[in-house]
Amino acid sequence: MKKSVLTHAALGVAMVFTLTLNTVVHAAPPGGKFTKQPVATQFDRSLNYVPPEQLPIVDRAAGLSEMEMRQRMTAVAVTPEGETYQAEVTAEDMAIFENALSEISESYQGKKRDTKKSPRRGVAPEVNATSNGVNAESVIGTDQRVQVFSTTTYPWRAVGRIAVGCTGTLIGPRHVLTAGHCVYNIANNQWYSNLNFTPGKNGNSNPYGTIAWSSAITTTGWTVNHDRNHDYAMIILGSHIGNTVGWLGYGYNNSLPYYTVNINGYPGDKPFGTLWHSNCTLAIIQTYRLYYPCDTYNGMSGSGVYAYFPATSSRIIYGIHAYGVDSTGYNGATRITSDVYSRLNNWISANP
C-alpha cells in the first residue's frame, strides 16, 4: 500500500510574517516521556565533529529480535549542563515501526536508476522534485556545487551551521534536524558540547545571531549500537528562531519516487561559513537509506535532503545527509520512514 505523509511544518515559510519574534527558552530537559538518568555525561568539547569514515559505524544485522529492536529505538537526550534523559519505547512505538516495515515497498531494493547532475548556471537553483563501507562525503566527478549568497532569504535562512562543524535544518520553531554523528561521537561515546546553531550564516556574517542549544536527542540505536540506520538527531534550541526565519517540512513516502533532491550545507572544503547548494536525482532507494550523486563534503553532514514542489511552494525533507560514497558509488542519507517521522513529531510535540 502506498502511503505518503507531509507534516504541517511544510507551512513554516507562510508563518514567517505573522508570528512574533523569538521567545527565549532557557536550557531545559526534554519534555514528554523522558526521565532523568542518574549519571551525568562527560562531554566531547571538540570544535570539529569526527567524520563518519573515522567512526566505528556498523550496518544492522538481519533478523534482530523485537527486544533488540526496542532497545535500539529508545530515545536519549542531553542538556548543556550534562544531564541525561531517556524515553523508553512503548507498544505504540513498536506498532508504528512494524507497520512502517510492512508498508515500505520492497520493489526498490537493489534497484538503481541512471542519474545525472543538473547543470548549474550562476545562481543556486532549487530544482523541481518531478524533474557498505562508509567513506568520506564526496565530490563525484566535476564539482557542481554552487555557493548561496542570499542566505537571508527563504529557504536558505532556515539552514544553519552547527558549532561542531555540521549542518542542520530547522523543521520547527526551535527544532533542528541533523545527523546522529553530529551530536554524539561514537568513537569515544560522548555527546558533543558545541551544538549552538547559526541560521543563514554567510562567511563571517551571522544575520540572525547564534542560538544556544537547550537539549539534543537521538536514539540508542546510534549511541549504543552505532547503527548506521539510526544516524539522525534533533537539536532543541533555546529560542524560537524559526518564527523569524521559517522552517522546512519533513515527511515520508513508502513508495518514494526518484525525485530530484536538493542539499544545502556548510562544506569544509569551501571558505569557512559559506553555504553551498547541490541537486541531483535519487539513484537508489532502500528501506533505511537514500543514495544520490549530489556533490557533498565533510561539514554537510546533517543537511536535509529535500524535494521542492513549486505547485504548492512546499519543501519536504525525506532524508538526512550522512555519508560519502560507499559500495553503491553514491553519497547517502538516512531515510525518513514513517517510524522516524513519528519519532520526530513526538520530539517536537514534547518540546514546543
Residues 275-311: tens digit of each pLDDT: 999 999 999 999 999 999 999 999 999 999 999 999 9
C-alpha cell at 340: 522516524
Distances (CA, A) of 228 to 103, 107, 132, 177, 296: 21, 22, 10, 16, 18
Cα atoms in the 13 Å half-sphere on the side-chain side of 305: 33
Q: Which range of residues forms the domain containing residue 266?
A: 4-350
Known catalytic residues are 181, 301
Exposed / middle / buried, residue 153 (Cβ in 10 Å: 0-12, 13-18, 19+): exposed
pTM: 0.85
CATH value at residue 19: 2.40.10.120
Residues 208-237: tens digit of each pLDDT: 999 999 999 999 999 999 999 999 999 999
How far apart CA 101 and CA 272 sit, in angstroms, is 41
Q: Total structural domains in the chain?
A: 1
Mean pLDDT calculated for residue range 251-257: 96
Residues 66-93: tens digit of each pLDDT: 666 667 789 999 999 999 999 876 656 5
Q: Given pLDDT bands bounded at 50, 70 and 90, which one contains residue 65?
A: low
The pLDDT of residue 340 is above 90: yes
